[in-house]
Amino acid sequence: MFTYHCLNPIAEVGLSRFSSDYAHIDEPEKAEAILVRSASLHGKEFGEHLLSIARAGAGVNNIPLDECASKGIVVFNTPGANANGVKELVIAGMLLASRDIIGGVDWVHDHEEDGNIAGAAEKAKAAFAGREIEGKKLGVIGLGAIGVLVANAATHLGMDVYGYDPYVSVDSAWRLSRSIHHATTLDELYKECDYISVHVPALESTIGMIDKNAISLMKKDVVVLNFSRDTLVNGEDMVDALVAGKVKHYVTDFPIPGIAGVKGAIVIPHLGASTEESEDNCAKMAVKQTIDYLENGNIKNSVNYPDCDMGRRGEHVRIALLHENIPNMLGRFTKILGDHCINIADLANKSKGGYAYTLMDVDSDISEEVIDQLRSVECVKKIRVLR
């Protein structure tokens, strides 16, 4: 029996994949698996039984990844599972920033009792006129799951699209429309584009990237869209740029104090992934990865340990070791098993940054003494024996 706890509501279509071998428990500190969306885990205590945290979503800045890795807790996310939901809201954001749909709808709401509302609307509507996005230049920063979809969709709407991503994956490059211009510097993208949409994770290197210096390079009346994380944009600098009329609209999915009331700000309450489809996709992927890790020791889409897949466990006893990525770990593990005449039937050893993972299928069961010896190898973070 495995135990899990959900720190945020997770779609039932995902949770229903847990068999009767799994029990939902109310105490996170006793769970072996945690499922989470945006709840912050920084500064929280982790229970001694915790094996994995699955983020039903893309951004993992709410989870202390290094601390988890050092405690042998594998953190997963669900790449691409909510990308279409975000893409659609970004397109909506561009349209809201181009046509004064919000102002117009508010006007109608305010005049709903007016018996002559149709005639009054014809006189009032000039105040809500806008511009079209066709033919305008869009700069997309970050060409991952979301950025590629936004860039491609914008080309279909007739926009001239510039993409910037020095770390673009081969998969993303294959999916990107050939008509998208490759911006080799951010400065080029800032200077050229009428709309700029940011789709990068919140990292030390990206936090605050849209600041007064970046904004100073942008065109007057630029529209900046941020559906990634609040911290990517310097809030004070953006407010100054809106007040000064340099930025026409700042469309963001992240309310921060003092921005919603500023003229030109269009602030949405983090709705990018709030669609039935995205929530279902994320929940299904998060639960599937959790089950495969708990039952088979396989790791897929981890952000702090390497991916590693030896298939279903079958008849063998499987030993799973999370450890630091340093020389001779494998040599030490295999020596311990050899000294106890335990034959290794299959083995995988993968690394990612400072951490590594070793999976071994062995032909006979192993004793507590052998488990203790493996556990006490220096730099082993966690050992599991799957029988």
What is the CB-side half-sphere exposure of residue 226 using CA atoms within 13 A? Answer: 27
Kindly indicate which of the ranges 194-202, 233-241, 244-252, 351-359 contains the residues binding ligand NAD, using the contact rule CB under 6 A: 194-202
225 belongs to the binding site for ligand 2HG (CB under 6 A): no
Residue 171 phi/psi, 5° resolution? Answer: -60, -45
Distance of CA 203 to the CA centre of its chain: 12
Using CB under 6 A, pick the residue from 14, 33, 64, 82 that binds ligand 2HG. 82
All residues at 6 or more sequence positions from 283 whose CB lies less than 8 Å from its CB, including other chains: 10, 11, 12, 13, 14, 15, 35, 56
Residue 4 phi/psi, 5° resolution? Answer: -140, 160
The encoded tokens of residue 382 equal 């966690």
304 belongs to the binding site for ligand NAD (CB under 6 A): no
281 belongs to the binding site for ligand 2HG (CB under 6 A): no
Which residue, 166 or 261, has its beta carbon nearer to ligand NAD? 166
Strand partners, 162: 139, 181
Which residue, 137 or 199, has its beta carbon nearer to ligand 2HG? 199
273 belongs to the binding site for ligand 2HG (CB under 6 A): yes
What is the CB-side half-sphere exposure of residue 382 using CA atoms within 13 A? Answer: 20
Residue 10 CB burial class (10 angstroms; 0-12, 13-18, ≥19): buried
Using CB under 6 A, pick the residue from 6, 58, 161, 286 that binds ligand 2HG. 58
316 binds, options ligand 2HG, ligand NAD, none, Cβ within 5 to 8 A by partner type = none
Using CB under 6 A, pick the residue from 32, 160, 165, 237 that binds ligand NAD. 165
Sheet containing strand 265-267, strands side by side:
181-182, 160-164, 137-141, 195-198, 222-226, 247-252, 265-267
Rg, C-alpha atoms of the chain = 25
Size of the site for ligand NAD (CB under 6 A): 35
Which residue, 56 or 366, has its beta carbon nearer to ligand NAD? 56
Smallest distance, Å, CB 129 to ligand NAD?
29
Smallest distance, Å, CB 83 to ligand NAD?
5
227 belongs to the binding site for ligand NAD (CB under 6 A): yes
Using CB under 6 A, pick the residue from 139, 163, 201, 264 that binds ligand NAD. 201
The encoded tokens of residue 243 equal 């007040």
140 belongs to the binding site for ligand NAD (CB under 6 A): no
Which residue, 57 or 163, has its beta carbon nearer to ligand 2HG? 57
CA distances from 348 to 153, 301, 303, 325, 361 (A): 40, 17, 19, 14, 9
Using CB under 6 A, pick the residue from 47, 59, 130, 235 that binds ligand 2HG. 59
7 belongs to the binding site for ligand NAD (CB under 6 A): no
Q: Which parts of this chain interact with ligand NAD (CB under 6 A)? A: 57-59, 79-80, 82-83, 86, 141-147, 164-169, 172, 199-202, 205-206, 227-229, 253, 270, 272-273
Q: Which parts of this chain interact with ligand 2HG (CB under 6 A)? A: 37-38, 57-59, 82, 273-274
